[in-house]
Amino acid sequence: MASTLADINSQIKKHDEQIAQLRKQAEDLRNQERAGVVEELRRKIAEYGLTASDLKLAGRAGSAKRSAGAAPAKAAAKYRSPTGETWSGGRGRKPRWVTEALAAGKSLSDYEIK
């Protein structure tokens, strides 16, 4: 089988065009099937009166799994300094105003937010 480089390149180009056509057909078929699935799901949702929370779709942003860069939720403040600074208590190091107040003989209960 004696083929030239030009023949092989021509066959490659022909096959590349066929691949592109097949990919386009596959994409079109998938889009048609997808539309049918969406319509069927809408009918079932209406028929059974399902809600987003029934399908576990509501509140996705607040789900237990956080995205990699999401900051943890801040704890509610339990203590307030005379200058208005707050502290949730028990997480991490105590703020300077708390350590100074405790060193001065004050109690945390003096600063509780009620």
Identify whether 65 is part of a domain: no
Full 3-state SS string of 38-101: HHHHHHHHHHHCCCCCCCCCCCHHHCCCCCCCCCCCCCCCCEECCCCCEECCCCCCCCHHHHHH
- Are the CB atoms for 60 and 90 separated by under 8 Å? no
pLDDT in tens, 37-62: 999 999 999 998 888 888 888 665 55
Identify whether 114 is part of a domain: yes
Q: Are residues 93 and 46 in the same domain?
A: no
Per-residue pLDDT for 31 more than 80?
A: yes
- What does the pLDDT average to over 17-35? 94
Q: Supply the CATH number for residue 101's domain.
A: 4.10.430.10
Q: Are residues 79 and 39 in the same domain?
A: no
Q: Are residues 84 and 52 in the same domain?
A: no
pLDDT in tens, 75-100: 788 889 988 888 888 767 889 989 99
